Amino acid sequence: MSKMSISDLKAMLASEKADALAAISAARLAEERADAMDYYLGNMRKDMPAQDGRSRAVSTDVADTIEGLMPHLMDIFAGSDEVVRFEPVGPEDEAAAAQETDFVNHVFMQQNPGFMILYSFIKDALLSKVGIVKVWWEEREEESRETYYDLTDDQFALLAQAVIESDGAMEIVAHTMNSRSQQESKAAG
């Protein structure tokens, strides 16, 4: 086994030290978050233990402060029609920037629960020292099936023409004629 160089040893020790400090910091942060949640819920047992035969102290100052800040912060971030605005770089970009602004705001606030996402994000940041939102774009095709009953021959022909014009986006899976339609066809012929 070859001997480790001094620089490799120093690098390995620095890495181990950084990992240890990160673990200590993470543990401290987890404890602070747990304390913050206890304070938010009015649980003061850690700092003000109850004496025997006495009631426990309850303080809702943390909850009152956070809940008091939430309307103001929500008004800042979600109080207008535009949660986000794209600024044009030049005069030729004005129409595109307006369209991008409208589209992103529609997707965030209408197609997604934008208000609740912001609310949860801000409240988590106040209570837990970090607010995280996961963002992704997903494209998917949705299939739907429709069933038609008692179509006339002309109605079926229109439907078949629409299927042909859809370039494969639609298809007729099954087609049957019921006995009443067959009898009416024979009687008419």
pLDDT the model gives residue 100: 95
Q: Above 70 in pLDDT, residue 84?
A: yes
pLDDT the model gives residue 104: 93
pTM: 0.57
Confidence of residue 105 (pLDDT cuts 50, 70, 90): very high
Q: Which residues of 132-167 are buried (b: 16+ CB within 10 A; e: fewer)?
A: eeeeeeeeeeeeeeeeeeeeeeeeeeebeeeeeeee
Q: Above 70 in pLDDT, residue 182?
A: no
Q: How many residues belong to the chain?
A: 189
